A and B are shown apart, each in its own frame.
Chain A
Amino acid sequence: MNDREITQLIFLPAFSTAVAVTNVSGRGVGLDVVKANLEQIGGTIEISSDIGAGTTFRIKIPLTLAIIPALTVMCAGDRYAIPTVNLAQLVRLEGGQGGRAGIELISGTPVYRLRGKLLPLVDLGRELGVSEPDRIERDTVFIVVLQAEDRRFGLVVEDILDTQEIVVKPLRAQLKDVSVYAGTTILGDGSVALILDVLALAQRAHVLGAGRELGRGGADRADDDPPQTRDALVVASVGQNRRVAIPLAMVTRLEEFPAASIEHVGSRELMQYRDEILPLIRLGPLLGSAAMGVDDDVVAVVVCSMRGRSVGLVVDAILDIVEDRPSRRDPLDGVGPISSAVVRDRITELLDVERAVRAADPQFFDVSATSAGARS
């Protein structure tokens, strides 16, 4: 047995140099656990040792653990971690009738007016059954505003500590039935903290409605809950005070080009864009508005792509990107490339990009994407 093999002996289970064995020490549990745990996560440990000179341990640990940013909060003396992906904002209410300023009750259920909207409040201690339900009577109230699916709710906690990157450790099978935890983590001081599963917590607190299953859209509640689905829309102005909304999902880029870069082939306007030829469609004339801004030095272009083809929609100006659920659609819609809806309190025309392109160039989709570059 050479020296290297001898040094490996200390990784053997039950290997001990202790003279006496007590209840809790000298049992030879030590480096074998270190080695086993390192190998479990794909790491290694090496030893090099010179008698009388010293010993070097080299530990290599891969950086592939699941690390997430989380907010740690305090509840009934325990710390809990909340993934910041669910976090919308933090609210601290102070003083004023025992901190109740802003917290109102609807038949005993606490709510808070957050920017004019009622935010249902859930007391973490009460949900977990670890504290008396009088938390809301406190002088200072900390509310963690959380997003669970489409709903927001406020989680009332004792204190808000800090945000940190945590390593997620999975739950043991014995705890799999307790759905409000997403996992565990070890905090900087070595103590174990539970990671809250915000969606499950919201369900437990009935924020998401009774009997509702995870991942379901819940379309049956669309009437009483307008912000159910929120579409991201690019809003642009076209012609005289008209607003056109283009689904952001179709949009690849928003660009401004010098008007001089537009080239003409026949009646069509094209431009060279990223080593390809980008056909342009002027939305104003297409939608029946007088062509405005033709003489501008710069044109605003919404680059859309579909079926592997790109097209530039020329608008007068790009106004905004909104996330909204278009409500009150005009029932007479569905004929042309335009339907109207109220977006952000203004009647806005929703553009069906594919129909608009067909209206401008009926052959557009007949040309396969591969030959598109050679079209002119």
Chain B
Amino acid sequence: MSLAGSPVGGPAGGRAQLSTFVVHGHLLGVEVEVVQEVTRYQPMTRVPLAPSALGGLINLRGQVITAVDVRHRLGFPDRGADELPMNVIVRSNDGMVSLLVDRIGDVVDVSEEAFEEPPDTLLGIARELIRGAYKLDGALLLLLDVRAVVGLEPAR
């Protein structure tokens, strides 16, 4: 199980499959291999004093897993109170972690030729969390660095 694929840039092979989701209007994706499952909204227990991007704790079939709010991680505004996040459960070195996203998308086949690294003008926390973009028809699919997202490292 490899989390990051190749450390810089997209997957080495010609084609890859990304599990996609939407966060604040952005189409994001992670390698389908690291995704264990996707679930609807689960009741969460908040964790006072924890980093703000930590959305809470979820009971996933008897296992307590942490949920990371991708909106918070990327610096997007909070979700409205009536909007419930969905969970993309990914496998990380520290067990399973849920990524809280707005909407689940499809599994998308992407090709290496469509990949481009983020431009130098992309700054801030997003630069550390986004490994690049796949140019799809009509949209950019941003490849998230799962390890960086679940690591909860503060923005530098």
Q: Could you tell me which A residues sit within 8 Å of B by CB distance?
A: 23-24, 27, 29, 33-34, 37, 78, 128-130, 169, 172-175, 178, 180-181, 184-186, 190-194
Q: Known interface pairs A24-B40, A27-B37, A29-B37. Does A129 touch B49 (Cβ–Cβ under 8 Å)? A: yes
**Do B104 and A24 have beta carbons less than 8 Å apart?**
yes
- By beta carbon, the residue of chain A nearest B150 is A174
- By beta carbon, the residue of chain A nearest B105 is A23
- 10 shortest interchain CB distances as A-B pairs: A128-B48, A192-B45, A29-B37, A192-B57, A173-B94, A23-B104, A184-B64, A172-B66, A169-B64, A130-B48
B146 to chain A, nearest CB (A): 13
**Do B37 and A172 have beta carbons less than 8 Å apart?**
no
Between A and B, 22 residue pairs with Cβ closer than 8 Å are A23-B38, A24-B39, A27-B38, A29-B36, A29-B37, A33-B61, A37-B63, A128-B48, A129-B48, A129-B49, A130-B46, A174-B68, A174-B150, A174-B152, A178-B50, A186-B62, A190-B59, A192-B44, A192-B45, A192-B57, A192-B58, A192-B59
Hey, which chain A residues are within 8 Å of B68, CB to CB?
174
Hey, which chain B residues are within 8 Å of A172, CB to CB?
64-66, 94-95, 97
**Do A174 and B94 have beta carbons less than 8 Å apart?**
yes
Hey, which chain B residues are within 8 Å of A190, CB to CB?
59
A143 to chain B, nearest CB (A): 20
B94 to chain A, nearest CB (A): 4
Hey, which chain A residues are within 8 Å of B43, CB to CB?
191
Cβ contact of B45, chosen from A37, A78, A128, A178, cutoff 8 A: A78
**Do A175 and B54 have beta carbons less than 8 Å apart?**
yes
- The reply on B75 being an interface residue by CB < 8 A is no
Cα A33 to Cα B89 in complex, Å, equals 12
Cα A129 to Cα B104 in complex, Å, equals 33
- By beta carbon, the residue of chain A nearest B106 is A23
Q: Known interface pairs A24-B39, A29-B37. Does A175 touch B45 (Cβ–Cβ under 8 Å)? A: no
- By beta carbon, the residue of chain B nearest A170 is B64
- By beta carbon, the residue of chain B nearest A21 is B107
Q: Known interface pairs A173-B94, A174-B152. Does A37 touch B61 (Cβ–Cβ under 8 Å)? A: yes
CB proximity to A under 8 Å, residues B41-83: 43-51, 54, 56-59, 61-66, 68
Given A174-B66, A178-B47, 15 new contacts (CB under 8 A)? A23-B104, A24-B38, A24-B40, A27-B37, A78-B45, A130-B46, A130-B48, A169-B63, A172-B64, A172-B94, A172-B97, A174-B94, A174-B150, A175-B54, A184-B45
A276 to chain B, nearest CB (A): 53
Cα A44 to Cα B100 in complex, Å, equals 32
Number of A-B pairs whose CB atoms are under 8 Å? 76
Cα A174 to Cα B53 in complex, Å, equals 11
B-side interface size class: 20 to 34
Hey, which chain A residues are within 8 Å of B44, CB to CB?
192
**Do A184 and B63 have beta carbons less than 8 Å apart?**
no
- By beta carbon, the residue of chain B nearest A23 is B104
- By beta carbon, the residue of chain A nearest B45 is A192
**Do A194 and B45 have beta carbons less than 8 Å apart?**
yes
- By beta carbon, the residue of chain B nearest A124 is B48
Cα A142 to Cα B36 in complex, Å, equals 43
B43 to chain A, nearest CB (A): 6
- By beta carbon, the residue of chain B nearest A130 is B48
Cα A33 to Cα B36 in complex, Å, equals 9
B141 to chain A, nearest CB (A): 17
Cα A79 to Cα B104 in complex, Å, equals 31
- By beta carbon, the residue of chain B nearest A27 is B37
Hey, which chain A residues are within 8 Å of B64, CB to CB?
169, 172, 184-186, 192
A20 to chain B, nearest CB (A): 13
- By beta carbon, the residue of chain A nearest B43 is A191
Cα A27 to Cα B35 in complex, Å, equals 11
**Do A37 and B62 have beta carbons less than 8 Å apart?**
yes
Cβ contact of B66, chosen from A34, A37, A175, A185, cutoff 8 A: A175
Hey, which chain B residues are within 8 Å of A37, CB to CB?
61-63
B75 to chain A, nearest CB (A): 18
Hey, which chain B residues are within 8 Å of A169, CB to CB?
63-64
B23 to chain A, nearest CB (A): 15
- By beta carbon, the residue of chain B nearest A79 is B45
Hey, which chain B residues are within 8 Å of A193, CB to CB?
45
Cα A246 to Cα B48 in complex, Å, equals 48
Cα A27 to Cα B61 in complex, Å, equals 17
Hey, which chain A residues are within 8 Å of B95, CB to CB?
172
**Most interface-central of B59, B68, B151 (chain A CB within 10 A):** B59
- By beta carbon, the residue of chain B nearest A33 is B61
**Do A128 and B65 have beta carbons less than 8 Å apart?**
no
Hey, which chain A residues are within 8 Å of B65, CB to CB?
172
